[in-house]
Amino acid sequence: DKDGHKHFMAKEIAEQPVAVDTALKAYLDENDAITLPDGLDFTQIERLSLVACGTAYYACMVAKYWFETIARLPVEVDVASEFRYREPPVSPGTLALFVSQSGETADTLAALLYMRDKADVIAGLVNVPESSIARESDVVLPIHAGPEISVASTKAFTCQLTVLLLLAIKAAKAKGLPLPEGMPDDLHALPGLIHQSLASEAQIAAACRDLANARDIIFLGRGALYPLALEGALKLKELSYIHAEGYASGELKHGPIALIDESVPVIVMAPKDALFEKTISNMQEVMARGGRVVLITDADGAREAADGTADVITLPKVPDTLAPILYAIPAQQIAYFTAIAKGTDVDQPRNLAKSVTVE
């Protein structure tokens, strides 16, 4: 049941304030203490190995920033199909964490089985608690997104990020480290911020009528927004069949800038944070070469950097730590509205299946 929406994807995008709120409430008690299932004790963990595919892999890439900066834990992130054949050595004190919406992805499951006798703890962060990955894990961490029907992952991604952030905070507390300013209180603002950011829909739909004519589109982001650039590009390819690539904005001048001309829209994700000036200077390099920029930022960022851009999408101001979760919303909406403008099948893109149970 699409609940009045035209597509399951639209419904699932709109459900995110409630889904993220449900995920938060499942892990936070009334004193904002984070409660984890038995068997996961961060005082015993020295490093993490995060393994997943596709969108879930990008959630892991964001989590690396959080675990390293907030909890000072070294993290390795791998796509499951590479990890399983590399026979990586595993050090003592390793938490192996497998992230999967369906819990049935064959490569992720095989990577988990490889880690069986090697990691100290195996955890499965899943949306489907009765899945194979959940069954094979020592510790199951449900994301509480509710059923995700549309092939493209949306609410599962923001709920994966939410639970991964809670884990990073829990790990920091276990090590006696100070939390980032405003945490964990600011977590409670997240559902409301997501709700507010959904209102950029009309701005995004207008920008997408243009994007639908492009042959190639580039997404740029820096720091924890770099994986969001990758996610934006994946979602757009998947749904609109337009060639899209995400780059770390600092990497642009090491090659990809050769692609830029008037025909290539460049979507820049740049909240007004500590890295803003750097990303904007990369954006200006793009504009100097005729690139058509769509800037996604907040009101402060727009005031400083809107000049010369083709479009600005303004999101609410968000605490730095939470920005990757909030910027997932426009990434999803860009893919959705570009697909609508092109007339492709939003919920069932060609060549794709919801769960990939073969290698």
Kindly state the tokens that stand for 63: 């989590």
Q: Residue 121: how many CB atoms within 10 A of its CB?
A: 20
What is the signed CA dihedral for 338, 163, 64, 321, rounded to 10 degrees? Answer: 80
- Which CB sits closer to ligand F6R, 82 or 185? 82
Place of tokens 């403008």: 341
Using DSSP bridges, classify how beta strands 265-269 and 94-100 pair: parallel, antiparallel or unpaired: unpaired
- Which CB sits closer to ligand F6R, 5 or 317? 5
> Considering only residues 16, 81, 94, 108, which one is a binding residue for ligand F6R as defined by CB under 6 A?
108
| CB 227 within 8 Å of CB 62 | yes
Place of tokens 């927004």: 225
- Which CB sits closer to ligand F6R, 148 or 311? 148
Binding of ligand F6R at residue 240 (CB under 6 A)?
Answer: no
Q: In 72-145, which residue ranges form alpha helices assigned H by DSSP?
A: 80-86, 106-115, 132-136
Q: Which residue is nearest to ligand F6R (CB)?
A: 54
> Considering only residues 45, 50, 54, 183, which one is a binding residue for ligand F6R as defined by CB under 6 A?
54
- Which CB sits closer to ligand F6R, 111 or 119? 111
The string of DSSP codes covering 290-308 is: T-EEEEEEEHHHHHHH-TT
Q: Residue 264: how many CB atoms within 10 A of its CB?
A: 18
Distance between CA 118 and CA 172 in Å, rounded? Answer: 24
In the residue annotation, 354 being an active-site residue is answered as: yes
Radius of gyration of the chain (CA): 20
Give the per-residue contact string, 2-41, with ligand F6R (x = CB under 6 A; - = no). ----------------------------------------
- Kindly name the residue from 2, 118, 237, 354 that is annotated as catalytic: 354
Residues in binding contact with ligand F6R, number by CB under 6 A = 16
Q: Residue 76: helix, strand or coil by DSSP?
A: strand
Choose the stretch contacting ligand F6R; rule: CB under 6 A; options: 96-104, 114-122, 218-226, 303-311.
96-104
Give the per-residue contact string, 197-236, with ligand F6R (x = CB under 6 A; - = no). -------------------------------------xx-
Give the per-residue contact string, 150-169, with ligand F6R (x = CB under 6 A; - = no). --xx----------------
Least Å distance, CB 225 to ligand F6R, is 18
Place of tokens 């004519």: 213
What residues are annotated to the active site? 354
Give me the residues that bind ligand F6R (CB under 6 A), please. Answer: 53-56, 100-102, 105, 108, 152-153, 234-235, 238, 355-356
